[in-house]
């Protein structure tokens, strides 16, 4: 179970990152530094959309001086959701290991082969 999880995680990580490294906030604008009032959203929405899309950096919108929402481009949002899903899977794997819910490689492979054989026949 753990072995398959690690393979799935490595393949998924490679697929998500396309073999590139993640950008960090070092050298890029931090979301907390990219804050706009809601009036800016109302008056310059097209400009804001273009900025969010080109910079791939979220913009925090405030109302009455308080942060109310975050605007983010779709591709970045999708990647974030995929990474959160992988982190949940990783967390479950760690919990399974700590709860001693793990299976040896040989046992796992035997179970998988039996399932495949059952589906083929």
Supply the range of the domain harboring residue 112: 2-120
Question: How many CB atoms are located within 10 Å of the residue 39 CB?
Answer: 11
CATH assignment at residue 17? 3.40.1620.10
Decide which of 104 and 27 is more confident.
104
| Helical packing angle, 2-17 and 74-98, nearest 10° | 160
Task: Collect contacts of 19-25 with beta carbons under 8 A, ≥24 apart.
Answer: 23/56
Our count of domains for the chain comes to: 1
Cα separation, 59 vs 69, whole angstroms: 8
Indicate the pTM of the whole model.
0.56
Q: What is the pLDDT of residues 30-62, one digit of tens each?
A: 666 789 999 999 999 999 999 999 988 899 999
Q: How far is Cα 90 from Cα 6, in angstroms, rounded to an integer? A: 9
SS (H, E, C) 88-109: HHHHHHHHHHHCCCCCCHHHHH
CA distance 91 to 89: 5
4-38: pLDDT as tens digits? 444 454 444 444 545 444 454 444 556 667 899 99
């Amino acid at each position: 179970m753990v072995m398959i999880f690690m393979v799935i995680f490595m393949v998924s990580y490679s697929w998500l990152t396309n073999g590139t490294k993640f950008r960090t906030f070092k050298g890029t604008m931090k979301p907390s530094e990219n804050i706009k009032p809601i009036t800016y959203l109302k008056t310059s929405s097209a400009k804001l959309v273009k900025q969010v899309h080109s910079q791939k950096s979220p913009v925090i919108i405030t109302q009455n001086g308080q942060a109310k929402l975050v605007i983010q481009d779709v591709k970045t949002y999708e990647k974030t959701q995929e990474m959160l899903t992988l982190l949940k899977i990783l967390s479950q794997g760690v919990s399974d290991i700590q709860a001693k819910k793990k299976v040896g490689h040989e046992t796992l492979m035997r179970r998988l082969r039996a399932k495949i054989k059952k589906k083929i026949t």
